[in-house]
Amino acid sequence: MNASDSEEDCYNERTALVQAENPALPSYRPEPEQAPPTNAEPKMQGGARRGGSPVLDGGEADQEADVDDEELTLKYGAKHVIMLFVPVTLCMVVVVATIKSVSFYTEKNGQQLIYTPFTEDTASVGLRLLNSVLNTIIMISVIVVMTIFLVVLYKYRCYKFIHGWLILSSLMLLFWFSFMYLGEVFKTYNVAMDYPTVGMIIWNFGAVGMICIHWKGPLQLQQAYLIVISALMALVFIKYLPEWSAWVILGAISIYDLVAVLCPKGPLRMLVETAQERNEPIFPALIYSSAMVWTVGMANPSAHSERPAQDAAPLWEGEEAEQSSAGAEPESRPSRSYPADEDLEEDRGVKLGLGDFIFYSVLVGKAAATGEDWNTTLACFVAILIGLCLTLLLLAIFKKALPALPISITFGLVFYFSTDYLVRPFMDSLADHQFYI
Amino acid sequence: MNLERLPNEEKLSLCRKYYLGGFAFLPFLWLVNVVWFFREAFVKPAYTEQLQIKTYVKRSALGLLLWVAVLTTWITIFQHFRAEWGEVADYLSFTIPLGIP
């Protein structure tokens, strides 16, 4: 792969976590007294839900309903947290396992992406810092441009273009990157492999992946493929981003994410809102959803729940044709279970943008690659999961699209640097002096 | 995609498309077909389209077994005779192990 690979792409991620509203469930009130037979109380969350579900015993006091709703929110919230922990953990495990075993991804041979043109091989610390900041500025601006481009395309309904772009990106990821990955794994384990077999493996992997992600396929397989492509993308980032630039880029991307999702004129937010207005499903290959919601064409305009929040710009810029990777858009939205859809499944699941997966894995992978030992890696891993929990908690409180990167990445960065530079020498020193605490 | 929510005709159509797709050198697709539609075809109580789905699943399984046999044979032959074949083997090799003839 030569240095002009512009593989990497911009990631626009919009990691937005959108709170799923709990589907309204009829509350069962055991007390017999009752209340007016009208079931009514419009639940605060949401409106009418299963419209007809008869309230079993009388009406409930609004307060009880409210309490129930809150409990339901929390109950769903906790379940959703677990539903997201597993894929995020799997992605990180794959990345760390690869980094530790296949040396290809940690070898730096001077090749860099064209998005990070400034080299870090300089003598002075100041110059190196300056170069990494410049690299970050370039990378972030590319990402911003791509995001805005995507929003514009989406607004003007150029769906074909977007679909083509996404398909090209996923093609690249599923075929080319996995081919490289497989080659490196075989070389690491010194296994002989012939072209016909490899061809069959890659062809099957890629074709079934395209079918699952872009068309219809079993949910678990689709989730597995999304995890795998996030891991591949993260590995490519880890290989091709220079050291300091990677850390600065991680920080900058979190800030960008925060701005883009929460500011009223932020591109991601506009994208989300446009998608919501049009009540459209989000593009595949950009969002990981933990459960598929099926709506039978409910006319309820508030049923955007399932729409996965369409994310913002595909991360990868497809300019260089070969390299687009399916950008994971960080938009994640737990589907809102809007009421009034009787046919909607109860368990809406949570959606998280693939960009989030990728950047979490980049952080943990870099910690594994350059941190001194496993403590650092584990600390970063825990930090990211804590960040994810907190983000989901905020999601439960605010109930709208939220960026999933900032909190986790901040914690991750803090934990990485503090563990690597403070905790580890401290532990080593204690061990040296045989002083156990 | 949740099969539960699809009407039967669509299930049949999906099964058929997966079956036909597998002919493009895609035994993995057949595997997915078998695993995914297994419950639909054999465990669920009968419905009109189930018979056809069963046929597709069975044929996919058959095709899958065939491919597995072919690939296993080829891989065994290649790994065994790679050293002896000399140049041809090198030409066919994607990775050549170091230190082993």
Instruction: Encode chain A (437 residues) as per-residue pLDDT tens digits.
Output: 333 333 444 444 444 554 444 443 444 444 434 334 333 333 333 333 333 334 444 444 556 666 666 666 565 567 777 888 999 999 999 999 999 998 888 887 777 777 888 887 788 888 889 989 999 999 999 999 998 998 888 888 888 888 898 899 889 888 999 999 999 999 888 888 888 899 999 999 999 999 998 888 898 999 999 999 999 999 999 988 888 889 999 999 999 999 888 888 888 888 888 888 888 777 767 888 877 544 443 333 333 333 333 333 333 322 222 222 333 333 333 333 333 334 444 456 778 888 899 999 999 999 998 877 888 899 999 999 999 999 988 888 888 888 989 999 999 999 999 988 888 788 888 888 888 77
Catalytic annotation, pick one of A9, A69, A347, A356: A356
> What's the confidence (pLDDT) of residue A21?
42
Instruction: Using the Cα atoms of residue A41, residue A46, residue A50 and residue A56 in order, give the sign of their dihedral.
Output: negative
Has residue B71 got a pLDDT over 90?
yes
Annotated catalytic, A356?
yes
Query: Does residue B99 form part of some domain?
Result: no
Residues of B with CB under 8 A from a CB of A: 1-2, 5, 14, 21, 24-29, 32, 35-36, 71, 74-75, 78-79, 82, 89, 92-100
pLDDT of residue A359: 94
The pTM is what? 0.76
- Count up the domains in chain B and report the number: 1
> What pLDDT score does A119 carry?
80
Write out the residue range of the structural domain in which residue B65 sits.
Answer: 3-92
Residue A361: per-residue pLDDT: 95
Nearest-angstrom CA–CA distance, A351 and A288:
5
Tell me the nearest-neighbour CA distance from B9 into chain A, angstroms. Answer: 15
pLDDT of residue A252: 94
The residue behind tokens 């109580």 is: B45
- Chain A residues in contact with B95 (beta carbon < 8 A): 183, 186-187, 191-193
Question: What is residue A277's predicted lDDT score, i.e. its pLDDT?
Answer: 86
pLDDT at A2: 38
**Does a structural domain hold residue B101?**
no
What CA–CA distance (Å, rounded) separates A384 from A412? Answer: 6
Q: What is the pLDDT of residue A329?
A: 33
B98 in a structural domain: no
Is B53 inside any structural domain?
A: yes
Q: Among A200, A205, A217, select the one facing B25 at the smallest CB separation.
A: A200
Is B27 domain-assigned? yes
CB contact under 8 A, A191 and B29: no
Evaluate whether residue B15 is within a structural domain.
Answer: yes
Count residue pairs from A and B with Cβ separation < 8 A. Answer: 80
d(CA B40, CA B91): 45
> B46: burial class by Cβ within 10 Å (0-12, 13-18, 19+)?
exposed
Flag whether B100 is in a domain. no
Q: What distance in Å separates residue A208's CA from the closest CA in chain B?
A: 6
Alpha carbon distance A44, A105 (integer Å): 51
Q: How confident is the model at residue B36 (pLDDT cuts 50, 70, 90)?
A: very high
Residue B80 in any domain: the answer is: yes
Distance set, CA A268 to CA A148, A279, A359 (Å): 8, 16, 17
pLDDT at A24 (0 to 100): 37
Give the residue from B71, B95, B96, B98 with the most A CB atoms within 10 Å of its CB, the best one to mutate.
Answer: B95
Chain B residue at shortest CA distance from A213: B1
Name which of A174, A182, A208 to mutate to probe chain B: the one with the most chain B Cβ atoms within 10 A of its Cβ: A208
Whether A341 is catalytic is no
Indicate which residue of A69, A257, A341, A347 is catalytic.
Answer: A257
